[in-house]
Chain A
Amino acid sequence: MENDLEIRSLNKSFQNSFALKDINLTLPRGSVMGFIGQNGAGKTTTIKCILNLLHPDSGTIRIFGKEIAQNEIAVKEKIGVVFDECPLHETLSAEKAEKILSKIYQNWDSSLYQSYLKEFKLPPKRPIKEYSRGMKMKLSIACALAHHPKLLILDEATSGLDPVVRDEILEIFYNFIQDESHSILMSSHITSDLEKIADYITFIHHGKILFSSPKDQILDSFGILKCGKQNFEMLDPSEYISYRENSFGYEILVKDRYLSKKKHPDMVLDRVNLDEIMVFFVKGEK
C-alpha cells in the first residue's frame, strides 16, 4: 500500500523547548487519519511542518513519496488545506475568491467550484463577512476541493460548528474519500466526528505521538476497568495505562481489554471512546 504522507523522526523546537519530539506518522493512500490531542499538544505545529509553514529542526516529511521541502510546488498543487478559520478577506466574495485562486492553481476547476457553491448554498456575490461560520467553513472547503486535490489537510475544520453543519461537512469529506486515490489528515477536538469518518487515529500529547493505529483496533482493544480500592491495589501497574479515582472507586484504562477480561473476570470492563482515551492519557495517573 502506498502512503500519501510519511513523517519520520520530526523534531521542532521553539526557544529551546520541544514543540514536537520524534514524530512518526504514516497516512496510507485512500484513508482518513484523525489527529487528536489537547490544545497545545502539537497538532497544528505538526500540520504547519507538513505544509512547510514551519521549518523542522530535523526529520523528513514525504508527501506522495516526495520530500515536501524539495518538491513544494508540485506537491502543494495536489493538496487542499482547510484551517479552523476562513482565511479569505471578509470584504471578498466567493466569486472574487475564485478570481484569485483560479490564477494560482493550475488544475482549478471553475465548474466544480460553482457546483460546490450551489450544493453548499453559498451566494457567490455576497461578501464573506455576511456569511455564517458554517458558510465560511463550507467556502473554505469549496476552495480546498476545487483544484482536485489528492490529499486534504484539515486543521480543526469542524470546530465551533453546530452538529447539523458538522454533519454536512463530514458528508463532503466522506464523498471526497470515496475516490480511493484520495486521503485526509484531519485534526480535531471533536472525537465523535473522527469516530464517524477516520480509519486511523494518531494521538499526540506534549509534542509526542502516544499512539497511531487503526481506529477500530483502538476502540476494540482499549477498555475501562472499574473496581474498588482493594482490587485496584492488586493490579500490576504494567497492566494498565492510567487510572482515575472517583467517589465510586477506580477507573482504569487498559490497552488490551480481552487480556484484562481474562485476568480479572469478576471486574467490570467497559468499552471506551476516543474522548475517554484522551482524558485518561492526559489527566489519568499512573
Chain B
Amino acid sequence: MIGLISKDFLVLQKLMRSQIPILIAMTILLTFSIGNSTYTLAVVCGFLLFSSINIFYYDDAAKWDSFAQTFPIKKKTIVKARYCSSLLTILGGILVVTILELISKIFVSRSGNGVSFVPILCVAVFLVCLLFSILFPIIYRFGPERSRIILTAIIMIPVLIFILLGKSGALDNLFASLETSGIESMIPIYCYLSVPAGIVLLLLSCLLSIRIYNQKEF
C-alpha cells in the first residue's frame, strides 16, 4: 500500500510544485486583505478536490489500473491506498490552513465578531470528506471520463440551488438571523463532530468502492 500511496504523491508532485506557490500566495492575500483565514479554506478545499480527482485522470491516461492489477497486491489494497492518499492530502490541507491561521493571528488584528476558525475548519473537512465519499465510488464505477458530467452535476447542482434560493429571497430570513445573532451562535456543538462523521463517510464510501472495484474488469 505504501508504494501505491507514494505513487499518488509522486504523480501529484509536479502539479503541487506549480500549484502550491499560487495557492499560498492566494491564501496569504485573502488572509491579510480580509483579515480572516477562514476564507482560504474554500481555496484549499477546492485544491484538495482538484488534486485528488486529478489522480484518477492521470491514472486513466497512463492505463495505470491495468498495470496495477499485475502487482502482487489485492484489489482492495489499490482502493484503500487511494482513500489513504486522499486522507493524507486533507491532513496536508488542514496543516497548511492552520499554519496560515496562526501566522495571520500574529500579523492581522481581528474584529471581535469574527468567525471561529476551528468549527469552520471542521465543517470544511466534512464537506471535502462528503464530496470524496460521493465522487470516488462514481469514478470507480463509471471511470474518470464517463463520470466527468456526473461529477460536474454533483458539484454544481447544490451551488445552483443555493443561488436560485438566494435570488428568490428564500434565504433572506437565514441571512437576517445570521446578522442579528452572529454566526458564532449558529455553529452548534456538533460542528466538531463533523470531522469524525466525515471519516465514517469516507470509510463507508471506501467499502462501496472496494465492492465496485472487485467486480470491475480491466
Which residues of A are in contact with B by a Cβ distance under 8 Å? 48, 51-55, 72-77, 79, 81, 83, 85, 87-92, 96, 99-106
Contact among A54, A77, A83, A91 for B67, CB-based, below 8 A: A83
The closest CB in chain A to the CB of B218 belongs to A53
User: B146 near A: Cβ within 8 Å?
Assistant: no
When distances are taken between beta carbons in the complex, the residues of chain B under 8 Å from A90 are 61-62
Residues 1-25 (chain B) with a chain A CB within 8 angstroms: 2-4, 6-7, 10-11, 13-14
Q: A103 touching B6 by the CB < 8 A rule?
A: yes
The closest CB in chain B to the CB of A77 belongs to B72
5 additional A-B residue pairs with CB within 8 Å, beyond A53-B66, A91-B58, A100-B3: A51-B69, A55-B217, A92-B10, A96-B10, A99-B10
Given A88-B62, A100-B6, A103-B6, the answer on whether A73 and B217 have CB atoms closer than 8 Å is no
In the complex, 19 of the A-B residue pairs with CB atoms within 8 angstroms, ordered by the A residue number, are A48-B66, A48-B217, A48-B218, A53-B69, A75-B72, A76-B71, A77-B72, A81-B67, A81-B70, A83-B63, A87-B67, A89-B59, A91-B11, A92-B11, A96-B10, A99-B10, A100-B4, A104-B4, A105-B71
Tally A-B pairs: CB < 8 A. Answer: 75
Closest 4 CB pairs of A and B: A103-B3, A87-B67, A104-B3, A77-B72
When distances are taken between beta carbons in the complex, the residues of chain A under 8 Å from B11 are 89, 91-92
A83 to B11, CA, bound (A): 20
Give the distance to chain A from B59, nearest Cβ to Cβ, in Å. Answer: 8
Contact among B7, B58, B70 for A100, CB-based, below 8 A: B7
A174 to B113, CA, bound (A): 76
Q: B6 touching A73 by the CB < 8 A rule?
A: no
Determine the interface band of chain B, counting residues with CB < 8 A from chain A. Answer: 20 to 34
User: B176 near A: Cβ within 8 Å?
Assistant: no
When distances are taken between beta carbons in the complex, the residues of chain A under 8 Å from B71 are 76, 104-105
Give the distance to chain A from B5, nearest Cβ to Cβ, in Å. Answer: 9
Given A48-B218, A55-B217, A89-B11, the answer on whether A104 and B72 have CB atoms closer than 8 Å is yes
Name the residue in A51, A73, A104 with the highest tally of chain B Cβ atoms < 10 Å from its Cβ. A104
Q: A87 touching B66 by the CB < 8 A rule?
A: yes
Q: A76 touching B70 by the CB < 8 A rule?
A: yes
The closest CB in chain A to the CB of B67 belongs to A87
Give the distance to chain A from B128, nearest Cβ to Cβ, in Å. Answer: 24
A72 to B7, CA, bound (A): 22
A91 to B10, CA, bound (A): 9
Contact among B14, B63, B69, B217 for A91, CB-based, below 8 A: B14
Give the distance to chain A from B117, nearest Cβ to Cβ, in Å. Answer: 35
User: B110 near A: Cβ within 8 Å?
Assistant: no
Q: Mark B68-88, 1 if CB is under 8 A from A, else 0.
A: 011111100000000000000
Give the distance to chain A from B113, nearest Cβ to Cβ, in Å. Answer: 46
Contact among B14, B66, B217 for A83, CB-based, below 8 A: B66
Give the distance to chain A from B74, nearest Cβ to Cβ, in Å. Answer: 7
A104 to B59, CA, bound (A): 17
Q: A73 touching B64 by the CB < 8 A rule?
A: no
A194 to B62, CA, bound (A): 28
Q: A104 touching B73 by the CB < 8 A rule?
A: yes
Give the distance to chain A from B201, nearest Cβ to Cβ, in Å. Answer: 29
Give the distance to chain A from B106, nearest Cβ to Cβ, in Å. Answer: 37
Q: B58 touching A89 by the CB < 8 A rule?
A: yes
When distances are taken between beta carbons in the complex, the residues of chain A under 8 Å from B4 are 100, 104
A106 to B69, CA, bound (A): 16
A147 to B143, CA, bound (A): 30
When distances are taken between beta carbons in the complex, the residues of chain B under 8 Å from A100 are 3-4, 6-7, 10
Give the distance to chain A from B8, nearest Cβ to Cβ, in Å. Answer: 10
Residues 165-218 (chain B) with a chain A CB within 8 angstroms: 217-218
The closest CB in chain B to the CB of A78 belongs to B72
When distances are taken between beta carbons in the complex, the residues of chain B under 8 Å from A83 are 63, 66-67
The closest CB in chain A to the CB of B8 belongs to A100
A103 to B200, CA, bound (A): 28
The closest CB in chain A to the CB of B7 belongs to A100
Give the distance to chain B from A59, nearest Cβ to Cβ, in Å. Answer: 16
Give the distance to chain B from A87, nearest Cβ to Cβ, in Å. Answer: 3
